[in-house]
Structure 1
C-alpha cells in the first residue's frame, strides 16, 4: 500500500512539473544547478557568459576555455572552435571570444541530446560569416507578417527601460549561432535613423554585444529628403551622398560595431534609385561608400518586380544580372529562395549560381506568411534543405545553392544568410510552440548548411520536450512530414500564389481583380477548360532559359520535370497522364486528400504523446492542430470545387467528398492586410 501511495505521489509530482511549462524557455531548458569547474585565459563580457553558462549547466568535469591564435585553431575563424576531451575534463579553444561562447552552447547541446558520452573531439566553423535575422517590425510595434503578437522592441520605453526579454532573445540566438539582427521592417520608416531612435538602437546593441550579435537597420532610400530636408534623394547628387556619410558617422559614434544597412528599394512602392533614373548599382554603391570607413555592409534586396506583362518570376534575374560585378565589395545581394515570393514550394531563384562576380545571400522566411501563419504546424527545415541542396549547375554539377552562397564555389569577401523572423511578444515567442523549431532550424542551417532536417528536428525535440523514444520517433516523423502536408493541402504539383487577397492565409483561387495582374491568383494557375498551370517553357514566358543546362531542359519537358514543379513550369491538360499513371486532375485530387489525411494523422500522433508533454503546451498545440485540420479541409474544398468548374471531371469516388459549397467558400473574408 505504501508503495502504491509513493507511486501515485511521484506521478502527481511529475504531472505538476510538466504543467509548469509555457514555452518561454524555448530549447534552453537545461537545469542550472550544476557547479562545474570552468576556467578561462581571458576575461571579457562574452567569455564570462561562456563561463557562466557552463558553470551552471555542464554536468561533467573541468572545462578550460582558451583564447588562442594557434594556427590549427585560427584557421577555423573567430566564430569557430575546437574541443578535445571527455566528460571528465576537456579543453575548448577558439581564436575569438564569440567562438568560445558558441562552443559552450554546442557542448551543452550535445549534453542535453545525450551525445556527450565517450570522447568529445569537435571542430566547428560556421558556413556563413553573417547569420542574420530580419525583423519586419514597425516603430508602432506592429509586425508585418508577424503572428506572435507585438514587436519585442518597446520603442516608447527605450532606452530608459530594458525588457529582460532583450537579453533572453540574444541568448537564444547565440545558442544557435545567429550573430546579427535587423531590427526593423524592410518597408522602413525614415524615423529609425533619427536622433530620437538611434539611442534606442544603441541600447539594444549594448545588450546584444556580449552575445556576439551585431545590429543592422533597414533604411528608407528617401531618408535624405524626408529626414534631412534635402530636395530629393538622388544617389548621384553630392549633397545626398554627404548626408549618408554624415549619418553613418553619427551611427558609428554611438554603435562602433554597427553592422550596416538592409535596403528594399523600388519594390512594391518603396523609394529607390529608379525614382531619379539611376540604377541599383548607383544606389547600393552610394550607401556602401558611406559605410566603408567603418567596415559596414549593404544588403541590397533583389525582391523587385514591375507591373509589366512579363513573368514576375523572371524579373529579379533580368534586373540584376546585367550589374553582376559592378557592386562595391561591401555589398551583398539578398535574394529570396524562390523567384516569386516565399511560396510553400518554389524552385530556387536562378540568380543563385548565375551571379558569379557579386556575393549573393539567401533570404528565407521563418515566419509562416504563406504556410498557415502561427496556426499551422509546418517544420521548414525540409524546404530549406531542398533549396540549399538544389544544384544550380553554375559551375557544372555540384554547384549547389549552398556552395554558391557560402564561399566554396565563388571567391567572395562576404558570405551571409538571412531569415525573416517569426518572433514576437507572445510568451512562447513564436505563436505556435512548433514554430520555435523554425527559428532553431534557421540558426542551425546558417551555422552548418549540411545538417539534415532529421538531425535538426531530433535536437530540437530533445531539448524542447523530451528524449523519450516513444515521444521522439512519431513526433519527429510528424515534423518531417509537415511541410509536404501543407504543400499537399494548399498548392501541390507546382501550383503557387493562389492565396486570398491581402492576407495570404486562406484559399482564393478565383481571385482575379487587383491593381495589377500579378497580385491575383488566376495570373498564376491559369485554370481553364484546356488545363492548368503557368507555361514557363520556350512556348510561354521562357523563364526556364534563366537556368543552366541541364536544368532548363529537365524543366522544359513535362516528362522529366519533377512533379513538385510541374505546374510551375507547364500548363497541361486535365487528362495529362502523370508518372504514376493517374490523370493530372485525379492526381491533384489525391494530393489535396493526402494533405488533409496527413494533418488528421498529426492530431492522432500528438494526442498519443500527451503523457510526455506538460498540460499547457500539449493543450495549446492540440488546439492549433484542430485549426489546421479544419483549414486543410477549407483549402481542399475551395481549390478542388473551383478547379472542377474547369476540369468538368468528378473527384475520384474513393476519396472523401467535399463538405463545403463553393459559393459559400467564396463569401469568406478575413480582415488581414499588408504586403512585403
Structure 2
C-alpha cells in the first residue's frame, strides 16, 4: 500500500509541473491505466546483459530508466541471468536463429522461455531494439507473443547541423547552437546526452556537427579536441561524428599557396590532417563538403572537377572506415539558365568517376527545399555513383518556427516517387538505399532543427519532423500517419479523441501551408535573405536565381516556368515515363503544374476553374484551414499540458496572421498581371499591394 502511495505521489508531483518539451518523445511518465501498467510490469522483472559493451550498458540503463518511469518499478540489471524468467534479455549473437536475417544495426525482439529477448549482431542493434521495446510500451502496444525483426533501410542516418563556432545556427529557428564550443572540452553540457538519447531512439547514427559553409577553424587542434569530447558523449549511443570542411583549408591552415586537389602537397596535407583527426576521434565518420556552391571554395577554382576534390579526400580516408559526403547543391548565376538543371549538368559527366568511398548528397528537389518540389532529376540517372538524400528538417521555407507544418508527407512524397530508372518501381528510396544499383554505402541526411530552446525545436510540433526523419531513415515504408500516431502518443496526450484530432491537424498541415504560400507548383517567392514571409515582386538581388520573378515568370499571359522545352528543357532530364506525367499541361498534376508549364490565366483546369480562379481559391482556402486548426486546437485545451497548449495556441495565431499576409501579397501582386476580378464569393483584401509591401520593409528592420 505504501509503495503504491509513493508511486501515486510521484506521479502527481511530476505532472503538476509544466512540460517545457525538453524531454521530446522520451517521456517516461507513469502510465495512468493501472491494468495496462500492471500487465507490462508482470512481464518485466529484471534486465540481463551478456556484454561489457558501453552501448549495451546504455541500452540497459535506458530500459531501467524507462521501466521505472512508465511502470513505477525499479528493475535490476544483471549479467548473464540464465535460467530465470520474466526478464528483458539483451544479447549479442553472431549466428543465433534470431539474428540470421539481421544487418549490423538490425534487431530482433522475441518472446522466448518466459523472457523478452532483444538480440542483434552488434551493440547498436541491441540499443535500437531497447528503444523499440520502450516505444511499444509508451504507445500501449501488446508485448504478448513478440516475434519481429527490424533492419534499417539506410546505413548512414545523419543529422546535418548548420552550426557555427560563434554559437549561431544558419537557418536555425530554435535559439542558438546546442554546441557550446567555448566550454568544450572541459564541460560537457547534459543536453548532449539528451540529444544522443533522442537520436538513438529513432535510429540516427551520425551527426555532422558544423555548418556546411564551413570554417577551417574546426580542423585546428583546438577544435578537434572539442569535437573529440562531443564524440566521446555520442559514441555510447551508436552515433559517429562527421566534420564539414572548408576546401581552402590547406591554404588557410597549412600555409600552402594552393588547395588544388591534384597537388601532391595538398594531398599530403589532407592525409596528415585526417590522421590527426583520428587521434581525437578514432571512429571518425568522415567529411561533409560543400564546394563551388554559393561562393564556397572548391576544386573548380583550379580547373578540377567535383570528382577530383572528392576523390582526394577519399584517398585520405582510405585507411579508415569513414566516408566522404560531397554535396551536389551547386548552381551558377545565369539569368538565361535554369537552376533546376545545374547540379545534373555538372555531375552527370562525372558518373562513374567517384571513388566508392564517396557519397554524393543530393537535395530532395532541384531548387532548394521548397514546400513542394518534383524529385531531383539526379535520382535514377547516376547508376555508377552512390547518391544520398538530403532533406531539410528545419523549416527554412516552411514557416520556420511559427507555422505548424508536419513534414513526413513531404519526405514520403519524394521517397515514393518513381524514377523509372530500371522500369516501374525504381523509386527514389531504392536509389538512396543502394538497392537499385547494388551500392554498398547508403545515406539519408536531414538538416537539423535543433537549438538551445528548452524544447529543442522552437515550435512544439517541429519536434515531430525530427522524429519523422529518423523513423523514415530507418524504415521509409512507414506511413506518415503511423509516425504521427506514435509521436502524438509519446509527446502530447493519451486521450484517443484528442490524438485523432491532432493527427488530423498534422496530416492536413502541409497541404494547408502549401495552399496559402506556394499553390499549384509556384516556388521561391519568400522574403529575401531571411526567407520568411512573401515577396513575389522581388526582381533584383545579388544574382538572378535569388529573385522571385526568375521562378514564377508572371506576365500578362499567365504564370509558371515552362520547362518542357520553350524556356528550359529541364523536363527532359527525367525518364520518358516521368516526362509523360508532367509534360502535358492538361494532364499534369496541379501540384506540379507551374513547375513545368507557363499557363494562361484564363485556362480551364481540371477543377473547372481558370488558373486565376484556382489560384485565388487555394490562397483563400489555406487561410480558412488555418482558422479550423485553431478551433481544433482550442477544443483540446483540457487534454494538453498547459505550457504546450499555450505555446501552440500563440503560434497558431501568428500562423493565421501570416497566412493572410501570404494570401494578400500573392493575390494582389499576381492581380497586377491577370487584371481579373477575385472570383465570388471570395472577398478582396482590404489592404493595398503597397501596404503589404511595407510589411516586408518592417521585417527587414527587425
Q: Which residue of 1 aligns with 2:55?
A: 46
Q: Is the 8 A contact 1:36 1:56 kept in 2?
A: no
Gapped regions of structure 1 (runs ≥ 5): 1-9
Contact kept? 1:36, 1:55, Cα under 8 Å: no
Partner of 1:653: 680
Aligned position for 2:220: 194
1:453 deviates by 0.4
Q: CA shift at 1:656, angstroms?
A: 3.6
Q: Residue 385 of structure 1 is aligned with which of 389, 409, 412?
A: 412
Counterpart mapping for 1:198-277 below 5 A: 198-277=224-303
> How far, CA to CA, are the matches of 1:131 and 1:475 in structure 2?
28
1:635 and 2:633 correspond: no
For the structure 1 residues 364 and 18, does the alpha-carbon distance in structure 2 shift closer, same or farther, using more than 3 Å as the test?
A: farther
Q: CA deviation at 1:298?
A: 0.5
SS at 1:39's partner residue? Answer: strand
Aligned CA distance change for structure 1 residues 14 and 618 (closer, same or farther; 3 Å): farther
- Is the 2:533–2:696 contact (alpha carbons within 8 Å) kept by the matching residues of 1? no
Q: CA deviation at 1:550?
A: 1.1
Is 1:465 the counterpart of 2:492? The answer is yes
CA distance in 1 between counterparts of 2:422 and 2:490 reads 40
User: 2:403 matched to which residue of 1?
Assistant: 376
Q: Distance in 1 between matches of 2:623 and 2:317?
A: 51
Please state whether the residue corresponding to 1:156 is helix, strand or coil: coil
**In structure 2, C-alpha distance between the alignment counterparts of 1:36 and 1:374, rounded to whole Å:** 43
Decide whether the 8 Å contact of 1:15 with 1:614 is kept in 2.
no
Q: Distance in 2 between matches of 1:168 and 1:434?
A: 18
| Distance in structure 2 (CA, Å) of the matches to 1:513 and 1:579 | 35
User: 2:611 aligned with 1:584, yes or no?
Assistant: yes
The number of residue pairs the alignment matches comes to 663
1:29-70 Cα deviation digits (max 9, x unpaired): 013898840101112211011111222323594111110001
Question: Structure 2 residue aligned with 1:429, among 424, 435, 456?
Answer: 456
Aligned residue in 1 for 2:339? 312
Q: Residue 121 of structure 1 aligns with which residue?
A: 147
CA gap of 1:614–1:162, structure 2 versus 1, over 3 A, is: same
Aligned match of 1:147 = 173
State the partner residue of 1:29. 27
Deviations 1:280-314 (A, max 9, x none): 01100000100111122100000000012210000
Contact 1:258 1:296 in 2 (8 A): yes
Q: Paired residue for 2:66, among 57, 63, 68?
A: 57
* Residue 206 (structure 2) aligns with: 180
SS of 2:149's equivalent in the other structure is: strand
Structure 1 distance, partners of 2:140, 2:123, is 26
Report what 1:527 is aligned to: 554
Matches within 5 A, 1:287-366: 287-308=313-334, 309-366=336-393
- Which among 91, 99, 108 is matched to residue 66 of structure 1? 91
Equivalence map 1:279-294=2 (5 Å):
279-294=305-320
Contact 1:36 1:54 in 2 (8 A): no
The answer to which of 647-656 and 162-171 deviates more is 647-656
Deviates more, 1:460-469 or 1:651-660: 651-660
**Separation in 1 of the partners of 2:626 and 2:16?**
26
Give the structure-2-normalised TM-score.
Answer: 0.92
Deviation at 1:90, TM superposition (A): 1.1
- Separation of aligned partners in 2, 1:141 and 1:89: 47
Alignment of 1:69-80 (within 5 A): 69-70=94-95, 72=97, 73-80=99-106
Counterparts of 1:540 and 1:278 in 2: how far apart (Å)? 30
> TM-score when scaled to structure 1?
0.96
CA separation in 2, counterparts of 1:545 and 1:576? 24
SS in 1 for 2:19: coil
Report what 1:483 is aligned to. 510
Between 67-76 and 133-142, the greater mean CA deviation after superposition: 67-76
State the Cα distance separating 1:661 from its structure 2 match: 1.8
Distance 1:527 1:62 in 2: 66
Q: Which of 498, 503, 524 matches 2:530?
A: 503
Equivalents in 2 of 1:192, 1:280: separation in Å?
22
Shift of 1:668: 2.2
| d(CA) in 2 for partners of 1:502, 1:20 | 36
Distance of 1:589 and 1:336 partners within structure 2? 30
Equivalent of residue 187 in structure 2, options 161, 168, 171: 161
Q: Does 1:441 align with 2:463?
A: no
Q: Could you tell which deviates more after superposition, 59-68 or 117-126? A: 59-68
What secondary structure is seen at the aligned counterpart in 1 of 2:576?
coil
2:567 and 2:187 map into 1 onto residues whose CA distance is 57
RMSD (CA atoms): 1.8
Q: In 1, distance between residues paired with 2:527 and 2:280?
A: 44
